[in-house]
Structure formats: C-alpha cells, structure tokens
Structure 1
Amino acid sequence: MTALDTAHAARDTGTSRALSGRRTRVLVYAGCALAVLCVLLTVALTTGEMRLPAATALRALIGLGDPGDILVVRQFRAPRAVAALVAGAGLGAAGYVLQRLFRNPLASPDVMGMTGGASFGAVALVATGASQTLIPVGALAGGLLAALLLGAFAWRSGLAVTRLILTGLAVQAGLAAAVNLMVVRFPAELAGSALQWTTGSVYGRTWPEVWGAAGAMVLALAATVLLHRRLAVLDLGDDSAGALGLNTSTARLHLLAAAVVLASLAAALAGPVTFVALAVPHIVRFVTGPPTTASLALASLTGAVLLLASDLVVQHLLPVSGLPVGAVTATLGAPWLLVLMFRQSKPVHRSAA
C-alpha cells in the first residue's frame, strides 16, 4: 500500500467515525428530548390546584375513573398541553427553515413580520367584537397577510436575503404600530383581552381548536419535509444550486411559504409567542452539529419541549398567576438575542501566517 492509499484510508476512517458520532448524538438527543417531553406531559396532566397521581391522570385521559378527574384532565389540562406541543413544534420548524434558508442566525418569524401579522389579524377581529373562536382564524389570516406584504415588497430584488430580512423588519414594525394604535383606541373591556392575546398564551384552548390546528400543522410539516432537500441544495450557494438545475428564487419562495404557514398556524393556536423559533435551531445545531436529514424533526421536537416547559413554568413556578406563556419566552428571548447579536458583531482575529 502506498503512502497515498494510506492517507485516503485514514481520511475515510475519520469520515466514517465522524458520521457515526453524529448519528449517535442525534439518536441520544432525540431519545432525551422524547423522555423530557413525556415527563413534562405527565406534570402537565397531574399538577395544579387538584393534584392527581400519574396513574389516575392517565386513566382520566382515556375517560376512566372519577367524573371530576376526567373533567379536569380532558377538558382543561390536556388541551392546553397539546396546544403547547403543536404550537411549539410549528415554531421550531419555522425557525429552523428560516435560519437555514437565509443563512442568518437572527432570522425568525419575529424578524420576518409573521408574528406581527398574526397579532394584527387577531386584534382586528377583537376590535369588531367577533367571537373568541374566530380569533385564531384572524391570526392565521394576519400571518399570511404579512407574508404577502413581504413578498410584494421584496420581489423586485429577486428575493435577495438581505432585502427580505430588512423588509421583514419593516413589515413587523408597521404591523406592531397598527396593533398598538388599535389597542389604544379600544374600549377598556376589549383592550385587556387584546393585550393578553398579543403576548402569546395557550390558556383556554379547546379540543376543536387544538385538533384543527394539529391537523393543519401535520400537513404543513409534511409539505416542509418534501421541500427539505431544496435547503441542502441552497446550502451550496446560488451559483452551484442553479448549475444543478434549481430555480433558487422559486425554491426560496416555496420554503418561505412553508415557514409562514407553520408560524401562522402556531400563532393562531398560541398567539405570537417569541424566542422559541429563534432559539430552537441554535440548540439543535449546538448539540447535533451541522444539519442532517433529521434536523427538521429535532427542531419540531425541541420547540414542543421548550414551549410546554415554558407554559408549566408560568402555571406552577412563578409567584404571579395568570401570566401568558409569551411573558416567559420574551424574558428569555431578550438576553438570548443580545448574545447572538454580540457574537455576530464580534471581530474575527486571524493569526499571522
């Protein structure tokens, strides 16, 4: 065997070990996240003003046991927990797609105007005195409106990344100003309801709302999985992607539409919850390394865990009752955003050759 053959064999061995190590990290992370999710669900079903043993709560969940236990678990605790899971999964996937699509660690539905659109749609319905059951529909419509504005303003640039992000910030700021104006002009009895919703909350969710959002979320996630391979091609750069026959502008538009639908569905169920979509891709990347085919699923799983954990903190660990879950995620998000901005602006020191 020549020295060149030996070098190639060593390189192949190193590559194989790296891939094996990455698969192991992915599997361990997925297993730990699922275990944490099961623990959180158990806590969500058993903890509250009326504490229940885990076995009793699980029996009540399937309709067995004391009628009072069944009412508490099935009508109050379970819908809220499932709503947090569904919304968190959508936010995690949306953040993952946006950050990888724009190659920007600050990209999220908050930056791209989607949460501002959801708030605008929901508050506009509150202003008309519409039924509370229609508010999620207004949030979804508002998120789609923000996406249309984003696409209309940025289309001339060929959907360039920098123009899209700047346009998203402008759309977010404009819609937030419109929401504030409506809230200021509301009657006092409507202003409180509007403000609580715009912070983000899964309180009071019902099974029809949850199942409707969950069904739509499954379809949106399935469409995103089908589009996922285009992300890998776009990672090669526009020139290389175009040489492989991919229309980069169309691919970005499709992926952006998928992220908009995911974020809007999450906002329709839980309101404009911040921080989750921003943080999840960083957590997944930190633990498992560069993106793999499993990264999208891990992002959804991590988002579900993070939002459910935040909601349990709101319910059981804070001294102030009645806070929406968005208050916790926003409190965590502010320092996280500052750290990310500091890391982005930190100069790179190169050693002399």
Structure 2
Amino acid sequence: MTAALPVTGLRPRAGAIARQRRRTVLIGLGLTLALVLLTALALSTGQVQLPLLESLRALVGLGDPGSVLVVQEFRAPRVLSALIAGAGLAVSGSLLQRLFRNPLASPDVVGVTGGASFGAVLMLALGASQALIPVAALGGGVLAAVLLGSFAWRSRMAVNRLVLVGLAVQSGLAAAVNLMLVRFPAELASSALQWITGSLYGRNWAELQIAGLAILLTTALVFLLHRRVAVLDLGDDSAGGLGLDPNRARVGLLLLAVVLASMAAALCGPVAFVALAVPHLVRLVAGPPTPGTLLLNALTGALLLLGSDYLVLNLLPIHGLPVGAVTATLGAPWLLVLMIRQGRPPQRSES
C-alpha cells in the first residue's frame, strides 16, 4: 500500500487564506459604505447648504437650477478628483513599496511627485493652457524616474536602497521649483504655490477627463498585472526560473506607478503621505498583499483624501487651507515611526 501524502501543513494555510479573504471582503464593504456616505455628505455641505436628497437629485441634473450648478460644476469635480487621486496615490505607493522592497518607498519620497510638480509649475511659468498640466506632470514624473534609475544603475545600487537616491532627486526638483517661484512674477508664484502645496481647489471637468481617465485605466492595468508583482516578490532568481524577465517587468510596473502618481499630482498637487501610509494601514488590518488588498488600498486612499478635503472645507477654522497640509500633518508622525522602526537592529532570539 502507498502511504498517504501529508496534508497537515495545507489545511492551516488554506484556513488562513480563507480568513484573509473574508476579512478583505468585510473591510471592503465597510470602506465602500463609508465612501458613499462621505461623498453624499461632501456634495451637500459647504458655503451653500443643501438637503441630502436635493444634492443627489442635482447631481443628475434634477431640481433647482442653482443647486444643479453648485453640485455639478463646483462640488462634483472636486469630490471625484479627491476619490480618483486618492486611489491612484495609494495604489502607486503600494506598488512602489513592493518593487523597491522598502516600506519607506512612495511617490512623494522617491521623487515622482516632485518631478510632477516641476513639470506642472514649468508649464504654468510658460503660460501654457491648464489642459496641458496633466501632460507636463507626467513628463516631470517620468523625468524623476529616469534620474532615479540612471543614478542607481551607475552606482549598481541594490533595489531596496533606491529610496535614498529618491530623496536626493526629490530635494533637487523641489529646489528647482522654488527657484521658479522666486524668479517668476508674483501672480504666477501665488497660483503655483497653492498648487504645489496640494490642493483640490478649482478642479474642473476638463482636468478630470484627462487625468482621471488615465488613473482609472492604469489602475485597471495594475490589477491585471498583479500576478507579475507577486512573482517579483519571490526574488529575481525565482522570477527568472518562472519565465519572467525581472528587469523588464520591474521597469514596466515602475512606469505604471509613475503614471498613477503623476496623474494624481495633476489633479490635487503633490499631496504627501497618502501613498506612504495607506499601504501600511491596509497591510496591518488585512494581511499580506493580494488583489483584494490592492482594492482596499484604492478604497482607503480615496476615503483618506476625500475625508481630509472635507475636513479642510467644513470643520477647520482656517479658510483656504490646502488639503496637503492636513495629510502632511497626519503623515509626518507615521513617517517618523517607520524610520525609527527601520533603524532598529533585528532582535535575536536567545538560545
């Protein structure tokens, strides 16, 4: 008689996977409900208070013409921009942290949003149309990625140490933006300063059509390519053994992360810490990365950015505060904790 194969280790693993799936579904449903409620609240509150049902009717063009104007032309583009940009930043941050194998990696740390800011401010300085800002932001983000890759390639730096180079690229591009703010007219400096601090003020449908569509399509592509990210998590040798070129796959996925972060910056400016903090929060409550947790990243990023913007508009006493100031205030302690944890030596078990 042939001996039965041991299945002792398979059942606990299958049970853990099933528990994570149930937890992911429950968290996703909770986040979706919170997003629906917060979106309805954001559409109905502001300087002009509207009943909830009236604001929802105005969203589809029904009811009082004044309410339709307020909701469709002013509030809806801003709310939708916050949702899409927040989701794009969170997915980009999750992707970069896995590609760089470093929990500190995010678009605002490795220089991508700094490059997007540089491109957008340069376009404003040249007096070009607002419709070209998403293209300029993407060009600046790609420039930052090229600088990061070239420096790392020349020094043969390990992937998990690229964050240090990214910080240098981010600082250099920020210095270039500050130089433009000083040298160009005061009117330009005022509008550019409001943009680079991270703000959803004045968003319109024209900007949302370009950048928003790019974020949605790129996010869908990231979901389709999630299996490649999972293979890269195994290491370059294992990925090559499974038939995947790790360098080519990493470059392609990095480009997707750059597109997401740059287009999000085109909508809301270089909002800090959303891309850094959200993947850690999702990993803390939902477990290891899966396609389901990637969706949770998108939902959490959308909720965080929309909630921060609602806080700015309706709850804080300071009028005109950019949403980037709120996310930076919330995220700075989180970054400090991560850096302290990264600097601790690993604990050794006593024999």
The TM-score bracket by the shorter chain reads: over 0.9
CA distance in 1, matches of 2:150, 2:344: 34
Q: 2:193 aligns with which of 183, 192, 195?
A: 195
Query: What stretches of structure 2 of length at least 5 have no aligned partner?
Result: none
Deviations 1:45-64 (A, max 9, x none): 01111211111111100000
Task: Work out the CA distance in 2 between the residues paired with 1:126 and 1:209.
Answer: 14
What amino acid is aligned across from residue 207 of structure 1 in structure 2? W
Give secondary structure in 2 for the equivalent of 1:294.
helix
| Distance change >3 Å, CA 229–CA 102, structure 1 → 2 | same
The equivalent position to 2:22 in structure 1, one of 18, 24, 47, is 24
Matches for 1:97-246 after TM superposition, within 5 Å: 97-156=95-154, 160-162=158-160, 164-246=162-244
> Structure 1 residue 143: deviation in Å?
1.2
Note the C-alpha offset of 1:165.
Answer: 2.5
Is the Cα contact below 8 Å between 1:159 and 1:252 reproduced in 2? no
Q: Which runs of structure 2 are paired with 1:246-285 in the superposition (5 Å)?
A: 246-285=244-283
Any conservation in 2 of the 1:159–1:249 contact (CA below 8 Å)?
A: no
Question: Secondary structure at 1:111's aligned position in 2?
Answer: helix
Q: Give yes or no for contact 2:58–2:72 (8 Å, CA) kept in 1.
A: yes
Q: CA RMSD in A?
A: 1.9
What does 1:293-304 align with in structure 2 at a 5 Å threshold? 293-304=291-302
Residue 342 (structure 1) aligned with residue 343 (structure 2): no
Are 1:65 and 2:63 an aligned pair?
yes
CA distance, structure 2, for counterparts of residue 11 and residue 145 of structure 1: 48
Q: For 2:253 and 2:154, how far apart are their aligned partners in 1?
A: 18
Q: Return the alpha-carbon distance in structure 2 between the equivalents of residues 159 and 202 of structure 1.
A: 37
Determine if contact 1:46/1:57 at 8 Å carries over to the other structure.
Answer: yes
CA contact (8 A) 1:158 1:249 kept: no
Instruction: State yes or no: 1:292 paired with 2:290.
Output: yes
Q: In structure 2, do the counterparts of structure 1 residues 214 and 281 end up closer, same or farther at CA, with 3 Å as the change threshold?
A: same
Inter-partner Cα distance in structure 2 for 1:211 and 1:129: 21
Matched position secondary structure for 2:199: coil
Partners of 1:239 and 1:16 lie apart in 2 by: 27
CA deviation after TM superposition for structure 1 residue 186, in Å: 2.3
Identity fraction in percent: 63
Q: How does 1:68-79 map to 2 (within 5 A)?
A: 68-79=66-77
Which of 237-246 and 52-61 deviates more?
237-246
What is the CA–CA distance in structure 1 between the aligned matches of 2:106 and 2:278, rounded to whole Å? 10
In structure 2, distance between residues paired with 1:351 and 1:96: 31
Shift of 1:335: 0.9
Q: 1:25 to 1:220 in 2, by over 3 A?
A: same
Q: Matches of 2:302 and 2:126 in 1, distance apart?
A: 32
The answer for unaligned runs of 5 or more in structure 1 is none
Q: What CA distance in whole angstroms lies between the structure 2 residues aligned with 1:149 and 1:103?
A: 19
Q: Report the counterpart of residue 11 of structure 2 in structure 1.
A: 13
Alpha-carbon distance in structure 1 between the residues aligned to 2:214 and 2:130: 20
Most deviating of 222-231 and 57-66: 222-231
SS at match of 2:73: helix
SS for the counterpart of 2:68 is: helix
Quick check: 2:282–2:296 contact (8 Å CA) kept in 1? yes
TM-score after normalising by structure 2 = 0.94
Give, as a single letter, the amino acid of the residue that structure 1 aligns with 2:301.
Answer: G
Structure 1: distance between partners of 2:227 and 2:265: 26
**Aligned positions, number:** 350
